[in-house]
Amino acid sequence: METAKRLEGIGEYYFSQKLREIDELNRLGKNVISLGIGSPDLAPHPDVIKVLQEESSKPTTHAYQSYKGSPVLRNAIADWYKKWYAVALQPDSEILPLIGSKEGIMHICMTYLNGGDAVLIPNPGYPTYKAAATIAGATCIGYQLSAELNWLPDFAAIEKNDLSKVKLMFANYPHMPTGQLATQAVFGQLVSFAKKHGILLVHDNPYSFILNDNPMSMLATEGAKDCVLELNSLSKSHNMAGWRIGMLCGAKNFIDDVMRFKSNMDSGMFLPLQLAAAKALTLGEEWHNAVNKIYKARREKVFELLDLLKCSYSKEQAGLFVWAAIPAEFADGYALSDAVLYNANVFITPGGIFGDAGDKYVRVSLCCTEENIMEAIKRINNK
């Protein structure tokens, strides 16, 4: 049986393959320390878990749920956006809860893209943007980000492309994998660019609370609701990656469009998860400060590890990772990653999986205990 043509050029996700290799190495007794994937190893707040437990024990919470999500969760998201981002959203019409923001990327692509359409994809950037657009039948046009321009878009360079068929543009700040923060001025430029070219701008915003003192939403930009859909998530900000709770925010017409597709793909989210998520969104500054204190200490150890590998990096990065340029002795990030894996039983991510603009870089996750990072440093130092 042949697979559908839409899967041509779509390979298995890199981490899916690499984790199998690491599992095999562990089976052979290598005890690999993985500093690769950004899956928080910390627990959600105890009060969030308590809500899930209590609501799950009720006999009335196990039925199918609204495709639009619980009003409790939508109101909590609206309050959260108002408190932290100074963005006013209508809970009933401008918010769509998602089973993780990753599904939202696919929903948006399937809602708006036809064969022959084009999508602007950041390079380096989250691989799912390209995969989802390709599956939807679109052509991907990479827009190059570089250290020289602080990993921010070069609009003049982008406009040298034929943009006549571009329907969507993905942007992501704080940026993954580089950790670059945007400014309100950059958000304004992105919105102006999207309006100028009649493009729907999709802003992916899951990292704004991690090692960042100034969380920002692109929806706070003047005129953004005319052309912006923003994805957000509790995965990183509230240590709830496995809970699969995200959100899509924007103008009613865009939310209604995506809802037409999403309502044919799932039957709503388990209500106790939604109510627990609503509780999580009420957590205050003390929660984020406590989480970031841990990540900050880990990041200092990761800096030590990267110094040992003779990598160079900025200390002004946000998010769950540290992005670093490799030393000249290695051909690319894959070579350095493999050398560290096979010689020291430590896994770090090659930057090339995020696009060829990341070929000379590696990315190290902060989702690992200080003790394990120190052990990784010890292993590398002994090789």
Over range 100-126, report the average pLDDT: 97
Residue 107 and residue 228 in one domain: yes
What pLDDT, on a 0 to 100 scale, did the predictor assign at position 37?
A: 84
Q: What is the CATH number of the domain that holds 302?
A: 3.90.1150.10
pLDDT digits (tens, 9 = 90+) for 203-218: 999 999 999 999 999 9
Count: domains in the chain = 2
Instruction: Based on the fold, state whether residues 54 and 92 are members of the same structural domain.
Output: yes
314-343 average pLDDT score: 96
Q: Are residues 136 and 221 in the same domain?
A: yes
What is the DSSP code string of 94-121? SEEEESSHHHHHHHHHHHH--TT-EEEE
Residue 118 has pLDDT above 80, yes or no: yes
Looking at residue 327, what is its pLDDT?
98
**Whether residue 38 sits in one domain with residue 165:** no
Looking at residue 9, its pLDDT comes to 77
Q: What share of the chain is helix, strand, coil (3-state, %, to 5)?
A: 45, 15, 40
Domain match, 240 and 312 both: no
Same domain, 258 and 109: yes
Do residues 213 and 292 lie in contact, with contact meaning Cβ atoms separated by under 8 Å?
A: no
Residue 375 Cα to chain centre, angstroms: 27
At residue 199, the pLDDT reads 98
Q: Are residues 198 and 71 in the same domain?
A: yes
Q: Is there a single domain that holds both residue 83 and residue 197? A: yes
pLDDT band at 146 (very low <50, low <70, confident <90, very high): very high
The contacts found for 8-15 with CB under 8 angstroms, 24 or more apart, are 9/134, 10/131, 10/134, 10/135, 13/127, 13/131, 14/127, 14/353
Strand-pair category, 139-144 with 118-123: parallel
Q: Do residues 38 and 72 both lie within one domain? A: no
- The domain boundary residue, chosen from 280, 309, 326: 280
The confidence score (pLDDT) of residue 173 equals 98
Average pLDDT over residues 300-305: 98
Region 261-265: mean pLDDT is 95
The reported pLDDT for the residue numbered 115 is 94
Lowest mean pLDDT among 36-40, 94-98, 252-256: 36-40
258, 280, 302 - which closes a domain:
280
Same domain, 345 and 216: no
46, 63 Cβ separation under 8 angstroms: no
Q: Rounded to two decimals, what is the model's pTM?
A: 0.95
Instruction: Give me the pLDDT at residue 11, please.
Output: 73
Q: Are residues 37 and 135 in the same domain?
A: no
Mean pLDDT taken over the chain: 96
Percent with pLDDT over 70 in the chain: 100
Q: Could you say which of 280, 296, 328 is where a domain stops? A: 280
- Identify whether residues 18 and 144 lie together within a single domain: no
Residues with Cβ within 8 Å of residue 304, at least 6 apart in sequence: 377
Question: Mean per-residue pLDDT for 93-120?
Answer: 97
Judge whether residue 373 has pLDDT over 90. Answer: yes
Write the CATH number for 144.
Answer: 3.40.640.10
- pLDDT tens-digit series, residues 184-200: 999 999 999 999 999 99
Task: Say whether pLDDT at 109 is over 90.
Answer: yes
Note down the domain range covering 274. 46-280
> Cβ distance 291 to 42 under 8 Å?
yes
In the predicted model, what is the mean pLDDT of residues 342-368?
97
Instruction: Dump pLDDT digits (tens) for 54-93.
Output: 999 999 999 999 999 999 999 999 999 999 999 999 999 9
